């Protein structure tokens, strides 16, 4: 039986966005272990802090992991340290370390989009400080969408209509909240800045990274699509009145009628899934007469309501799509997607 390492966070959770009981307690580990056993895997459960690289060699070992969206991303940063160690040893991270970096990080997500040629209908620019934005003043076509690098739902997503409004809103989302010791240090630096008649270059307090994207007009909904291996789950999300954001609106409907799902949407989702190459994937997709738009994607620690609330899913069999009227446990669907990915990419 093949081993697969399952890494849990400091609250002993594997996955944080599962609608579980108690709230956000993660996957049921007993069920997950059983589902992997059926597929021929022995689960080895570990917490991140239990890993001693002098004692454990992850070379050629399969590793599945969870991430977290903690305030300040402090524990997420710790997780990435551990995952880097596993990668250096030659462990097989599922999904890849790049996908972990893109989690809760829209700047890196857009970098991956550009490198992998994923959806050229979305045009993104990324900035590490307000000064870089100002240097590019006059080069934007309005309206545009401004997004903070971190944040889920519609948090940190703003529609901007003018240059003045862009700089004002970008200042708000890029401002670094300095703790008291850092404020004192900053004031000393600012004093030196004045003493040197502004020749001394002082760090900006507006240096939290952010992105801009082209605005897609006249959209009143989009689709959340969760892909677990060969299974496609679809949720239609509507916008609120006078709001362009479908994400976080809370106005959604599970799609169980194949007649209202364009085949082109399923084909586009499959194309994106193949390009990103991850065991499972969450994508936000919109479309209009101009084509399809991949708004965002995540391959780790995404919301799972689209799967847990659906009565059906879609499969691509032969050369066409079919709908399966079937309700499956999330743990089963997840384990199957990992197994399918391993067989496809590693042949074992």
pLDDT, tens digit (0-9, with 9 covering 90-100), for 290-333: 889 999 999 999 999 999 999 999 999 988 999 999 999 999 99
Confidence bin at 247 (pLDDT 50/70/90): low
Whether the predicted pLDDT of 129 surpasses 80: yes
Q: What pTM was computed for the model?
A: 0.89
* Per-residue confidence (pLDDT) for residue 226, from 0 to 100: 97
Q: Which residues pair with 46 in a beta bridge?
A: 7
**Residues in CB range of 163: below 8 A, 6 or more apart:** 137, 138, 140, 142
Note the residue count of the chain.
348
List the structure tokens of 312: 């059906």
* Per-residue confidence (pLDDT) for residue 313, from 0 to 100: 94
- State the fold for domain 218-346: D-amino Acid Aminotransferase; Chain A, domain 1 (3.30.470)
* Per-residue confidence (pLDDT) for residue 240, from 0 to 100: 67
Please tell me the CATH code under which domain 2-94 is placed.
Answer: 3.40.50
Confidence bin at 218 (pLDDT 50/70/90): confident
Tens of pLDDT along 154-167? 678 999 999 999 99
Q: How far apart are CA 153 and CA 245, in angstroms?
A: 9
* Per-residue confidence (pLDDT) for residue 233, from 0 to 100: 96
Could you tell me which residue, 159 or 240, shows the higher pLDDT? 159
Domains of the chain, by residue range, sit at 2-94, 218-346
């Amino acid at each position: 039986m093949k081993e697969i390492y399952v890494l849990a966070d400091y609250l002993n959770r594997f996955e944080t966005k599962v609608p579980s009981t108690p709230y956000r307690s993660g996957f049921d580990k007993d069920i997950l272990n059983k589902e992997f056993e059926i597929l021929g895997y022995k689960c080895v459960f570990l917490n991140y802090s239990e890993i001693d690289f002098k004692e454990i060699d992850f070379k050629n070992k399969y590793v599945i992991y969870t991430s977290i969206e903690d305030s300040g991303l402090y524990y997420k940063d710790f997780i990435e340290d551990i995952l880097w160690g596993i990668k250096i040893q030659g462990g097989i991270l599922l999904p890849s370390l790049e996908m972990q970096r893109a989690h809760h990080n829209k700047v890196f997500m857009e970098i991956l989009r550009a490198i992998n040629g994923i959806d050229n209908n979305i045009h993104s620019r990324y900035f590490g400080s307000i000064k870089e934005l100002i240097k590019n003043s006059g080069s934007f076509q309005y309206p545009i969408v401004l997004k903070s690098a971190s944040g889920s739902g519609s948090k940190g997503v703003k529609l901007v209509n003018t240059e003045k409004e862009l700089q004002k809103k970008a200042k708000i989302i890029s401002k670094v909240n300095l703790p008291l010791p850092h404020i004192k240090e900053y004031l000393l630096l600012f004093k030196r800045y004045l003493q040197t008649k502004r020749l001394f270059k002082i760090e900006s307090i507006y240096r939290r990274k952010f992105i801009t994207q082209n605005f897609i007009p006249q959209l009143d909904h989009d689709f959340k699509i969760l892909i677990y291996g060969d299974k496609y789950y679809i949720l239609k999300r509507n916008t609120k009145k006078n709001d362009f954001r479908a994400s976080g609106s809370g106005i959604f409907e599970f799609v169980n009628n194949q007649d209202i799902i364009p085949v082109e949407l399923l084909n586009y989702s499959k194309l994106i899934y193949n390009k990103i190459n991850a065991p499972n994937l969450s994508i936000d997709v919109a479309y209009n007469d101009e084509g399809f738009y991949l708004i965002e994607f995540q391959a780790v620690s995404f919301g799972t309501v689209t799967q847990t609330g659906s009565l059906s899913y879609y499969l691509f069999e032969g050369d066409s799509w079919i709908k399966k009227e079937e309700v499956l446990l999330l743990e089963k669907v997840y384990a199957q997607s990992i197994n399918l990915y391993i067989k496809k990419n590693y042949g074992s």
